[in-house]
Structure 1
Amino acid sequence: MPVSVTMPRLGESVTEGTVTRWLKQEGDTVEVDEPLLEVSTDKVDTEIPSPAAGVLTRIVVGEDETAEVGSELAVIAGEGEQAGAAAPQQQAPAEQAAPAPQPTAAAEGTAPEPAPQAAPAPSAAPAPAGEGTPVTMPALGESVTEGTVTRWLKQVGETVEADEPLLEVSTDKVDTEIPSPVGGTLLEIKVAEDETAAVGAELAVIGAAGAAPAAQPEAKPAPQAEAKPEPKPAPQAEAKPAPAPAATPGVSYNEPAAEAEVAKQPVQAEQRAVPPAPAPTAQAPAAPAPGAEAAGYVTPLVRKLAAEHGVDLASIKGTGVGGRVRKQDVLEAAERAKAAQAAPAAAPAAAAPAAAAKPAAKPQPSAKRGTTEKLTRIRTAIAKRMQESLHEMAQLTTVIEVDVTRVAKLRSQAKDSFQQRHGVKLSFLPFFALAAIEALQSYPIVNARMDLAGGTITYPEAEHLGIAVDTERGLLVPVIHNAGDLNLGGIAKRIADLAERTRTNKISPDEIAGATFTLTNTGSRGALFDTPIVPSPQSAMLGTGAVVKRPVVVNDPELGEVVAVRSMVYLALSYDHRLIDGADAARFLVAVKERLEAGNFEAELGL
């Protein structure tokens, strides 16, 4: 009996969803709980599994179409009905059926009947290859409308497996990998690297595995394979194994000295790569394997590039998705190697240890001096939003000084037990966040947003706290949704988790959207305070400076006014002066100040 696939309820307030991609096509066989399609809502992107095993006989809702919760998306025929369901589908498309070519062959020449019988076989192969399965740009967030292809992990003619990473896409919110929807052969790439495509646009075409031979002669995958890119990495990669085993045991990515050692080793690889061209061919298959395992999965393009520049992949800390080594990582490592090669040449001439240490600090800034690089999508988005925010708001900053000595003492007493209990370190930031959330609940105007054109002020029903995180790709702001429901321990864990996943590029687009108020810890880099730019459509943003000890006049009950060493911090509130008056901002800051100076966090810390 046919089974109906319906739109599930994917959230408490979700009433509809959009089909972003079908992972199976009509006529395909599916198993129970096998991913069938991808659905995007205003809160989450997810895969819908098949409710039954059988054949997908009919797709009711196409890609990029929206359906209500509970409505029918497709129909799956049961196992006993597979034959009956597959037959009508094969009769519908005339191109895939064998009877179509046979009449034409019979009409052209009735005498040689064996020739038409040979013709249908080749004609049937290109048909599925030409059709194939399209790979489309998925919806990577509720406000994301387009994405840029940063790198293709597979090339035309290569075989891919279902759910195998196919390409990398960058948006203004996140960089991510797009998996292959089906297994087969990559027949065509329609959007090249560094090109932008809208959500739902076709990026590539994947054909059946048997269609690979037919696709290669048609286009130019065969000449690309015969262009001999493969023999080139082989001799250069042969020289790389020699320094690789000696480099990997002592590599430390956190010490500048180790970085200098890593930078020197590729130089030795370049020097050894020149003389032994044919001799080490037998050693090539055995030696690159350890380096490849240490560096994780890398694409053939990255491996070839590393071999050309003599870069040891095992010594590179990747900045791609999941720590993967990217093309930019290899190029930067090659630049460091060139700088390190010039540094030792200058060191013997100076013949002084101090002089040899100075060039080690210069390669990092000198690598980009005098160069021009393309703006990333994230940096472009940050630039546009900051400029727009300053233009559309009347921003003002109010600064207050807070004595956090009591908080510092509580933190010192409870940090060990807190880490054992919650698994994260206890910093000052959770105290600032909790005090700010409580103040937002008392003064909701600071958490509100204004629509000047519509003449309205909207007060959110919850406090969604954004935490500014410094990453190599730029400043990103993951969001603690419903932060008012969390205690000090919960806030600390959420901050640590979001910050870690943001820095490692494992954050989802929906987790960096929806903030109503933002907290930025500029004191983590030693700044006393700054004047943050409020991100639209928020109305305020709190910056916390560095906590420093200095002499302060305090009022002692017995001694009166005395000078004592206290832990002090500046809190800077930037706000939209069109909506928030100076008195409102001052009241908010005073509430935060009183909460922190009172230091009544014993119950939160278990003291």
Structure 2
Amino acid sequence: MAKIEIMIPAMGEGITEATITQFLKKEGDFVEEEESIVEIATDKVDSEIPAPQNGKIAKLLFAEGDVAQVGDVVAILIPEGEELNDEELSTASPVQAKTEEKVIELPNEVVAIETEAKMTSKTENGSFISPLVRKIAQEENISLEELNQVQGSGENNRITKKDILQFIENKTSQAKVAEPIVAPVSASPAPAPTSTPVSHQSYNGENVEIIEMDRMRKLIAQYMVQSKQVSPHVTSFIDVDVTGLVQWRNKVKNEFLQKEGQKLTFTPIFVEAVSMALKDYPMVNVSVDGDKIIRKKFINIGMATALPSGNLIVPVIKGADEKNLVGITKQVNDLADRARANKLQPDEIQGSTFTITNLGAFGSTTGTPIINQPEVAILAVGAIKKKPAVIETPQGDTIGIRNIMVLSLSYDHRVVDGALGGMFLKRVAEYLENFDTERKI
């Protein structure tokens, strides 16, 4: 009898597990090819796993809320008209905590036996533990018994990185309080105590509404704080006269829609200009690994996209420098539409080397964006505004109404100095200001 194993797919660099958020089918249900079977969530994106062919769901191997690793079988599908016996449906049991003996050489050459408990993906009280949390717990000598005390703040009581770090901080603080206070021998003034976070005032009553962050908002908050801690941010600004570009788009947008079936926004043009500038200044298209600089020989542009929920996601235009304006436009529109419909695949939000965020879509003229790690720069494009400007002509300077926008570039000062950041930003501006207004579509 044939059986088809439905597995957690590879979902991009750094993603090793996913939470089963909902089974869309139950055992015994018939499904058609490409019909979704299960919803999963990673720390990057929510996704669905479709059926590879028509058939019947013979067995579901996980429960909703469980955490499965990439490659784990979550369901078994069989062709219509076939059945499997119990032996054929059997799979490996979940990994259980076990005790093993390890021989350790001590400094005095005495051999000792160390008992080491292997951690599972759940605590005794049902809180989920990711591989990252387990690693932190092992490095900080947090026992399984101590992990049972941690209240997970993630979905389905999942213990997050923030939860385990807060537990460790609290444990350290309690240990310090318990230490005896010894008066300094020196007559010199004691050093000032380090500052501690101020406790938030407790709010309640009818005058306030307490809103729990959803999973995506928690992740965004975590990533933003992490980026500011990792990268020393510097932001440079430049005014750009895009009058010619605006006039060209107004002239061709209806023809573009009729010919290509796509709306022509400014975003694809910004993506094209940034891609060309990155080829001119490849040291902006890098990431940092310790004391090493990783220069990417490919250009993948992330575009920050606002979701109806108020959250943010960054789908990626792969190989942006290898596409023409029509190709970029089609991919920009497709990714944006599917992002808002929560239909992106995990690999479509992975692998960006540079990010663009459009502040102008909400009327903002400029801003200081936060770098999308592990990139080293991010460009914010402001709203295009009509402003009076000095126009240089052979007959002399004059004042005219021009379409002006502000570009702001935040960059990681560890590897991008002011000169490089300024030259790159100026080059993007030059590509936009010198846009070919005779360009054919």
Distance, in Å, in 1 between the alignment partners of 2:4 and 2:330 is 43
Q: 1:512 aligns with which of 349, 358, 364?
A: 349
1:518-597 equivalent positions in 2, closer than 5 A: 518-560=355-397, 562-597=398-433
1:11-410 equivalent positions in 2, closer than 5 A: 27-28=1-2, 136-155=7-26, 158-161=28-31, 163=33, 164-179=35-50, 183-184=55-56, 191-203=62-74, 370-373=209-212, 375-376=214-215, 378-410=216-248
- Please give the root-mean-square deviation of Cα atoms over the aligned residues, in Å: 2.9
Count of aligned pairs? 316
Distance, in Å, in 2 between the alignment partners of 1:147 and 1:598 is 47
1:413-466 superposed Cα distances (whole Å, 9 cap, x missing partner): 222222223222222222222222111111111112222x2x322221122111
Distance, in Å, in 1 between the alignment partners of 2:41 and 2:56 is 25
Structure 1 residue 185: Cα displacement = 5.7
8 Å Cα contact 1:528/1:545 also seen in 2: yes
8 Å Cα contact 2:25/2:57 also seen in 1: no
Q: 2:314 aligns with which of 477, 484, 498?
A: 477
Distance, in Å, in 2 between the alignment partners of 1:488 and 1:207 is 45
| % identical aligned pairs | 38
8 Å Cα contact 1:160/1:186 also seen in 2: no
Q: 2:250 aligns with which of 406, 412, 416?
A: 412
Q: What amino acid does structure 1 have at the position aligned with 2:333?
A: A
Name the CA shift for 1:155/1:579 in 2 (closer, same or farther; >3 Å): same
Distance, in Å, in 2 between the alignment partners of 1:465 and 1:507 is 16
TM-score, normalising length from structure 2? 0.64
**Larger RCO: Structure 1 or Structure 2 (Cα < 8 Å, ≥ 6 residues apart)?**
2
Aligned counterpart, 1:252 = none
SS of the residue corresponding to residue 514 of structure 1 reads coil
Q: What amino acid does structure 1 have at the position aligned with 2:256?
A: F
Distance, in Å, in 2 between the alignment partners of 1:432 and 1:447 is 16
SS of the residue corresponding to residue 40 of structure 2 reads strand
Distance, in Å, in 2 between the alignment partners of 1:580 and 1:542 is 14
8 Å Cα contact 1:185/1:212 also seen in 2: no
Aligned counterpart, 2:298 = 462
Structure 1 residue 596: Cα displacement = 1.7
1:545-595 superposed Cα distances (whole Å, 9 cap, x missing partner): 0001122233333242x3321111000001001100111111111112222
Name the CA shift for 1:195/1:544 in 2 (closer, same or farther; >3 Å): same
Distance, in Å, in 2 between the alignment partners of 1:583 and 1:481 is 28
SS of the residue corresponding to residue 178 of structure 1 reads strand
8 Å Cα contact 1:160/1:180 also seen in 2: no
Name the CA shift for 1:159/1:483 in 2 (closer, same or farther; >3 Å): closer
8 Å Cα contact 1:419/1:426 also seen in 2: yes
Structure 1 residue 600: Cα displacement = 2.1
Q: What amino acid does structure 2 have at the position aligned with 1:469?
A: T
Q: What amino acid does structure 1 have at the position aligned with 2:36?
A: P
Structure 1 residue 400: Cα displacement = 0.8
Distance, in Å, in 2 between the alignment partners of 1:494 and 1:154 is 32
Name the CA shift for 1:444/1:150 in 2 (closer, same or farther; >3 Å): same
1:67-91 superposed Cα distances (whole Å, 9 cap, x missing partner): xxxxxxxxxxxxxxxxxxxxxxxxx
Q: Which has the larger radius of gyration?
A: 1
Q: What amino acid does structure 1 have at the position aligned with 2:279?
A: Q
SS of the residue corresponding to residue 528 of structure 1 reads coil
Name the CA shift for 1:443/1:180 in 2 (closer, same or farther; >3 Å): closer
Aligned counterpart, 1:495 = 332
